Amino acid sequence: MVALLMSPWAIGFTVFFLYPMAASLYYSFTHYDILATPRWAGLENYRFMLSRDPDFWLSIRNTLWILFVGTPIRILFAVLTAMLLTRPRRGVKVYRTIFFLPSMVPPVAAAIGFVFLLNPNGPINQSLHLFGWHNPPLWFYQPNWSKWGLILLGMWGVGEAMIIFLAGLLDVPRQLYEAADIEGASGRQKFWHVTLPMISPVIFFSLVIGVIDSFQYFTQAYVAGTTVASSATGIGQPQGSLLFYSLNLYQQGFRYFHMGYASALAWVLFVITMACTILLIRTSTRWVHYQGGMLR
Amino acid sequence: MPPPVRRHRFLTAVTDHTLLVVTSVIFLTPVVFIVLTAVMSDQQALSSRLWPQPFRWDNFRTALTQLPLLRYTWNTVQIAVLSTIGTVVSCVPVAYALSRMRWRGRQFAFLLVLATFMLPIQVTILPLYVVFRNLHWINSFKPLVVPSFFGDAFSIFLLRQFFMTIPEELSDAAKVDGGDEIQIMTRVIVPLAKPAIAAVALFNFLYAWNDFFAPLLFLNNPRLYTLAIGLSQFRTLRHVQWNLTMGASLLVTAPVIVIFFLAQRVFVEGVTLTGVKG
């Protein structure tokens, strides 16, 4: 009976997980263009990646930028918006809906919308003009500002993360704040010594998700690049500033059909995310505060 | 209440509300600009005037015909409905076996389910592409639908968490009455787990509706495009104007917003189910 009930997953696990993992590991040691059979290449793909492929290092730099700049901004913004919603005020439900809804917008629609909003003659830059900024950035049309366009897009869609933080904040026991009040703690002290430790598990969770998402960041960057270039060959535009790890992998695998090399990229991606996650979990015991133990 | 306390309360109320209103305006501004642009004339969309003169409501109709958005909608609905059915049908039994039955290796199997959840799609997608290509499944909905009939880690996890909360006595009573596991699952557990199943179905439907990566790989024939793919090519294919592009973006977004308001309760329950709060 167990075997029967488990069978959908067991088949799926073998066909869509075990087999492809083994196959991509094998491909990563071969030259493979789909049409001919794979040719054994040893470590050549990995050597090429680390020493000669300029796109690999460019994509690593872009991805690390999004990880180290984008993730903290996103988490901070999620915490701040969630904190605004914790105090019971009239109409708080309406505000919560307004803050949350943008995260429901399909990513492709949101990305196209922001490319328009931030285009050189678009409404945002015209507003900046009105406020006296006469040389506003060109955002998605300028390599050193394009990633900031994606950051703004990410902040606008902060809703889901915000809801999780909101739940965490509302879970902090009242008594802790009351005790802090009796001790004469200031608002800032309460934040640092009560709120922050209590929501540290949510921050930890968001950091792990942030690492995984940064290395898999694809749709928004793909859509922004191709929309700006007005062409499907515009991946990573302008000037490679939006060439993130997963876009490079997509391009190698499905545009150039370098399946062997793309598999090597996929495995490096897998190893990097695993390493980061393990590292985060290791350090977490030092700063993540679990109420009543980790396994509740 | 002493006057200083009252004044303090009044001031924090004012600051709170001001902050809430300002933040709301920031979140809403993009939407306002996009809606205004969607109803502008072609020339005005390129100009620096921000208020539409005149309002061109038939832009939406033009957007609908510029690219076959209705066909894309139908394609997307087919994929989303079929893969949602597949996920529910395959994940309920697995979650049942993982939560309501006792067997050796259950914990290990659950760990394996969680492990698949961690694996980036990029690692498996290249060999799967080769397999689907050899099966002549490229340019069909099969690569997007068939895998969902073989379980999805996140849905299994969500359903298992919910099934665990249903009291054991209910299953025991059904067993005394001579029901086997399948009967207990379909007659006792599934009816009680409706909110969880609804949340899983909703999350999967929205995921399929918004998904970009997989359709981009497997659908190269414009007749098979989903809304996400069609919309992404709106500007690149024909250099159409911003006003129509914004109109199309709004048309693609509208159903999702409607679903959100209709299914708000399912959402809230689903988020609580994930158990990520603290």
Buried b / exposed e along A177-190 (16+ C-beta atoms within 10 A): eeebeeeebeeeeb
pLDDT for the residue numbered A296:
35
Query: Contact, B125 vs B184, CB < 8 A?
Result: no
Q: Is A50 on the interface with B (CB under 8 A)?
A: no
pLDDT for the residue numbered B106:
93
- Count the helices and strands in chain A (H runs, E runs): 16, 2
Q: Is B88 on the interface with A (CB under 8 A)?
A: no
- Mutation site, A105, A211, A228, interface B, largest B CB count within 10 A: A105
pLDDT for the residue numbered B276:
45
Q: Rounded to an integer, what distance in angstroms lies between the CA atom of residue B77 and that of residue B175? A: 40
ipTM for this prediction: 0.89
Query: Contact, B251 vs B63, CB < 8 A?
Result: yes
pLDDT for the residue numbered B54:
81
pLDDT for the residue numbered A218:
95
Position B147 pLDDT exceeds 90: yes
pLDDT for the residue numbered B239:
67
Position B47 pLDDT exceeds 90: no
Domain A56-287 belongs to what architecture?
Orthogonal Bundle (1.10)
pLDDT for the residue numbered A156:
96
pLDDT for the residue numbered B55:
83
Position B4 pLDDT exceeds 80: no
| Chain centroid, CA A210 distance in Å | 5
B80 versus B9: the higher-pLDDT residue is B80
Which of A239, A265, A240 has the alpha carbon at shortest distance from A250? A265
- Mutation site, B10, B36, B85, B126, interface A, largest A CB count within 10 A: B126
Q: Is A201 on the interface with B (CB under 8 A)?
A: yes
Supply A53's token pair. Answer: 């492929």
Are the beta carbons of A24 and B227 separated by less than 8 Å? no
For chain A, the domains span 56-287
Are the beta carbons of B209 and A106 separated by less than 8 Å? yes
pLDDT band at B1 (very low <50, low <70, confident <90, very high): low
Query: Contact, B136 vs B220, CB < 8 A?
Result: no
Which of B232, B208, B223 has the alpha carbon at shortest distance from A235? B232
- Chain A residue with Cα closest to B35: A113
Position B277 pLDDT exceeds 50: no
- What distance in Å separates residue A105's CA from the closest CA in chain B? 6
B6 versus B78: the higher-pLDDT residue is B78
pLDDT for the residue numbered A295:
39
Q: Rounded to an integer, what distance in angstroms lies between the CA atom of residue B166 and that of residue B192? A: 8
Which of B159, B216, B214 has the alpha carbon at shortest distance from B190? B159
Supply B31's token pair. Answer: 């939407």
Residue with tokens 């109709």: B61
Each residue's pLDDT tens digit, B83-117:
999 999 999 999 999 999 999 999 999 999 988 88
Are the beta carbons of A9 and B113 separated by less than 8 Å? yes
Are the beta carbons of B151 and A9 separated by less than 8 Å? yes
pLDDT band at B145 (very low <50, low <70, confident <90, very high): very high
Q: Rounded to an integer, what distance in angstroms lies between the CA atom of residue A170 and that of residue A87? A: 9
pLDDT for the residue numbered B271:
66
pLDDT for the residue numbered B238:
61
Residues 119-178 of chain A whose Cβ lies under 8 A from any Cβ of chain B: 119, 121-124, 126, 156, 163-164, 167-168, 171
Average pLDDT of B212-222?
A: 94
Crossing angle for the helix pair A159-170 and A196-216, nearest 10 degrees? Answer: 160
Domain B66-273 belongs to what architecture?
Orthogonal Bundle (1.10)
For chain B, the domains span 3-59, 66-273
Looking at beta carbons, which residues of chain B come within 8 Å of A218?
Answer: 212-213
Each residue's pLDDT tens digit, B231-273:
998 877 666 688 888 999 999 999 999 999 998 888 777 766 6
Averages of pLDDT over runs of 10 residues in chain A (296 residues) are 90 94 96 91 93 93 95 95 86 90 94 91 87 88 92 94 90 89 88 90 89 92 88 80 94 94 96 91 84 46
- Chain B residue with Cα closest to A233: B236
